[in-house]
Each structure stands twice: as C-alpha cells, then as structure tokens.
Copies of this chain bind each other. A is one copy, B any other.
Amino acid sequence: MKLVKAEIIAIGDELLYGQIMDTNSHWISQELDLVGVKVVRKTTVGDKREDILTAFSEAEKRADLVLITGGLGPTQDDLTKPLLAEYFNCPIQEVPEAVAAITEFFKRRGREMTPLNILQGHLPSCCQYVPNEVGTAPGMWFERGETYWMSMPGVPHEMKKLMRDFVIPKLPEIFELPIIFHKVIKTAGIGESWLADLINDWENALPENIKLAYLPSLGHVKLRLTGFGTEFKSIEAEVDNQIQLVLPKIQKYVYGYNNETLETAIGKLLRENRKTLALAESCSGGYITHLVTTVPGSSDYLQGAVVPYHNEFKQKILRVKKETLESKGAVSEETVQEMSKGVRQLFGADFGLASSGIAGPDGGTAEKPVGTVWIACAGEGFIETKKLQLTQDRLLNIQLTGVAVLNLLRICIEKYDK
C-alpha cells in the first residue's frame, strides 16, 4: 500500500502578519492522521500572486492531495479562485446551482446580498462545485494527473464542515487507505515517564499493527492506541483487548476514553451515584468550579461553591476554627480538612472539596514556598487530603490544582461510594 502524501496551503496576509493564528492546518493534520494520510508539508503564503502560484506548483510536484484554505472572500484582495483558474488553465463561469445556494443563504439570514456575493457562485470550469452550507464561498475540487485538490474557505467552521462532509468521506474512494482504529485512554495523577515505567512490558509486547503514542498535557497524559489492519471490527477488538491487558496496571489513573474530560467524567460518576458536590476554593480562586460548570447539566450535581479569599471568611462562612488558622496557618492540612467539611455542610452536599495554597508569585516562605498547595475531599465518614508541590507560575499552579482536586474527587468516589 502506497503512503498517501498531503500538503496544506494556508493563504492570507493576516496569517503571515500574526493577526490570526492558523488553527486550520493543525486541525486538518489531526483529521488526516486519523484516516492514515500523511501531511508532509504545510505552507502559509500571503495574498500575493507569485507566492500563491509557486506554492501550488511546489505542492503538485510532491503531494497526492493538496488542501487549500483561505483567500476565497468576495473582495479583490482574495486571489485563490482566480489563481486556481489560471493554474489549471480554465475560465471562471457562472455555476447556477452555486449562485442559487448563495442567494438562499442570504435570504435565510435576512441579510443584504451584494453583486460581489453573487460572483462567489462563479467558479473555474474545471473544478467540481462543492456546496458550503454554512457560508458563501463554495468549496472547489480539482483533479489533475495523480494529484487531487480541494480549496476551502479560511473560516474554521466552514472549512471543518467541508472536510467532514466531503473531503474525508471522499478519501477512501480515491486512495487505497489503511484501515485504522484509534482509542485514547485518558489518565490524570501520574507523569509521563512514571506511566511509561508502569506499562513498559505491555508496550514492548504490543503487536506490530498497534502503535502507542504518549500525549501529555497539563496534569494529564493521554495514551493513544492506533491499530492498523484490513478489517475494522477485528482491529477494534484487538485494540480493546490490549486495553483490557494494560488496565490492571493503570486503572487508578484512568478517568475515561477518547473525548471524555475529567469534568465530564466526575459529572458522570456523580450523576450515576446520585451524589452532589460543593467546593471551597482558596488558592484556585473559582477555577475548579468554572471547570465543573462548563459541563452542560452540571446543576444536577453541583450545589455551589465559596471562594473565601481571606481567613475571616474561612471562619465566618465555612466554620474553620480560629485556632486552626492561627496555629497551623491557612495553607495546612488541618485548614483544608475543615474547609472541605464546612462547605459540605453549608451546601448539604455529599462531597466537599477544598483547596488552599500559595499560588504566587509572592507570599511564599522558606517553610511553605510558592507552589505549596493542600487539597481535601470530605464525604460521609471520610476526609482525604493531599499536599502538592507545584511551580513558580501562578496560572499554572491554579490549573494544576484544578486537575488534582477533580482527580482526588474521582478517586474518593471510586473508593468510598461504589
């Protein structure tokens, strides 16, 4: 099976001058990787005739598939369409179906259409018109020699829809592609190298047709298994079988699969167990509650939260004892224990979570340097605590505390509530 090579060309001055970050190329890379097409080059050029034509001819020499984004606006500085017509040597002519679609697009939104918009329905005669249901610039599909081309608008959601509806489904028709199945194991609470140590034997014994990738991000490590083969169902079964083999080694770090997040995972656990949650966030300053409330339907299990940014409110609202704060300090195991109990009681919740630490950049001492954070989870008959020693960076400390607190909750639900 021949490797299918793709190149991505992003067109637009705004991408070169740093006004807009090109997230399209990254997204396209990910999608193509999932179906077994290899991106071999990405190029960004401005709205300039020679630069665009050079990018086209360089790409044609190397690639089986050329994906172009941007430069399809209705104004004169958008050059992609006329230059494609020039490059493929065919005239631009009206495509009645495209003009009708654009007219309909404006009508539906009750917006004025200009003559320039109508011209967006005129396309090079040698391309296949690909309807864009969510915008005015159509997609254009070209074939010449052994290279296939797709031109798409630069607006991310328009590009994504054309990729999902047209390009990705078309690839297996024109190329011989490997059959690929991906599954991602999501973990938290363990670093990449420790995780690698734990699963080393399993990794070395993986069959030839299953590849493993470590994808670390803030406080998380994702394990992506990619299986290759000739028949989808059997690859899926093979990958799932390997996951069953590795799970016993890493079970306590695994919170979900594929698109699941720690927030959605704890939401699912709480809902399944019909349990509720309350948070007392000192150093994390509302961030964890924000994470929890980004999940639709979180009001089913979240009762509420308090951010007591000074000791007097830890006492007054959460009933932390004055003596505890005076003898142990706000950043201490005893204080987060009382905070987690207090917030659980205040909101009548099943679980109470608490954080208290020195986020920085100031406020550190020799005994409790910046990055020292205590967290706690209180429930019926238990309190679990953990001390974190994080970084010098305030925002990073807030984010890492968030992952650690939600992961502590997950562990407590698994441990005490099942």
Q: Does A43 reach chain B (CB closer than 8 Å)?
A: yes
Q: Tell me if A21 counts as interface (CB < 8 A to partner B).
A: yes
Chain A, residues 264-307, CB within 8 Å of chain B (1/0): the string is 00000000000000010100011111101110111100111111
Indicate whether A388 reaches chain B with its CB closer than 8 angstroms.
Answer: no
Complex interface residues of chain A between 1 and 46 (CB less than 8 A to chain B): 15-19, 21-23, 25-33, 38-46
Please measure, in the bound complex, the distance between the C-alpha atom of A39 and the C-alpha atom of B296, giving whole angstroms: 42
Whether A286 lies near B296 (C-beta < 8 A) is no
What are the residues of chain B within 8 A of A33 when measuring CB–CB?
Answer: 17-18
Q: A213 to B17, alpha carbons, bound, how many Å?
A: 12
The 25 sampled A-B contact pairs (Cβ below 8 Å) are A16-B41, A18-B26, A18-B29, A18-B30, A18-B33, A21-B23, A40-B45, A40-B51, A41-B51, A43-B43, A58-B58, A286-B286, A286-B305, A287-B293, A289-B289, A299-B309, A303-B309, A303-B313, A304-B307, A304-B309, A304-B313, A305-B305, A305-B307, A306-B307, A317-B346
What are the residues of chain B within 8 A of A303 when measuring CB–CB?
A: 309-310, 313
- Are A40 and B58 in touch, CB under 8 angstroms? no
On A, residues with C-beta under 8 Å from B are 15-19, 21-23, 25-33, 38-46, 48, 51, 58, 213, 215, 279, 281, 285-290, 292-294, 296-299, 302-310, 313, 317, 346-347, 359-362, 394-395, 398
Is A293 a contact partner of B304 (Cβ separation < 8 A)? no
Q: Is the Cβ of B16 less than 8 Å from the Cβ of A39? A: yes
Q: Which of B15, B289, B306 contacts A285 (CB 8 A)?
A: B289
By the criterion CB–CB under 8 Å, are A26 and B21 in contact?
yes
Q: Is the CB of A294 within 8 A of B395?
A: yes
Residues of B within 8 A of A293 (CB): 285-287, 307, 309, 359, 398
- Identify whether the interface residues of A are mostly helix, strand, loop, or mixed: mixed
Contacts of A15 in B (CB 8 A): 29, 42
Closest to A297 in B: B362
Q: Are B296 and A398 in contact (CB under 8 A)?
A: no
The answer to whether A304 touches B306, judged by C-beta atoms less than 8 angstroms apart, is yes
List, in ascending order, chain B residues with CB within 8 A of A289's CB. 285-286, 289, 307
- With a cutoff of 8 Å between Cβ atoms, the chain B residues found around residue A43 in the complex are 41-44
Which of B16, B215, B281, B313 has a CB less than 8 Å from the CB of A29?
A: B16
Closest-CB distance, A263 to chain B (whole angstroms): 11
A27, A297, A309, A361 — most chain B CB neighbours (10 Å): A309
B304 touches A305 (CB 8 A): no
- Chain B residues closer than 8 Å to A213, beta-carbon distance: 19
Q: How far is the CB of A30 from chain B (nearest CB, A)?
A: 3
| Contact assessment for B41 and A29 in the assembled complex, using a CB-CB cutoff below 8 Å | no
Contact residues in B for A288 (Cβ distance below 8 Å): 286
CB distance from A218 to the nearest CB of B (A): 14
Residues of B within 8 A of A40 (CB): 16, 45-46, 48, 51
A75 CB to closest chain B CB, in angstroms? 15
- Give complex CA distance A215, B14 in Å: 11
Which residue in chain B gives the minimum CB-CB distance to A39?
B16
A285 touches B290 (CB 8 A): yes
Q: Cβ of B41 and Cβ of A45 under 8 Å apart?
A: yes
- Distance, CA A306 to CA B343, complexed state (A): 11
Is A42 a contact of B44 with CB atoms below 8 Å? Answer: yes
- Are B308 and A304 within 8 A (Cβ)? yes
Residue from the list B286, B346, B362 in contact with A287, Cβ < 8 A? B286
Q: How far is the CB of A7 from chain B (nearest CB, A)?
A: 10
A313 to B302, CA, bound (A): 12
B residues less than 8 Å from A305 (CB atoms)? 286, 305-307, 309
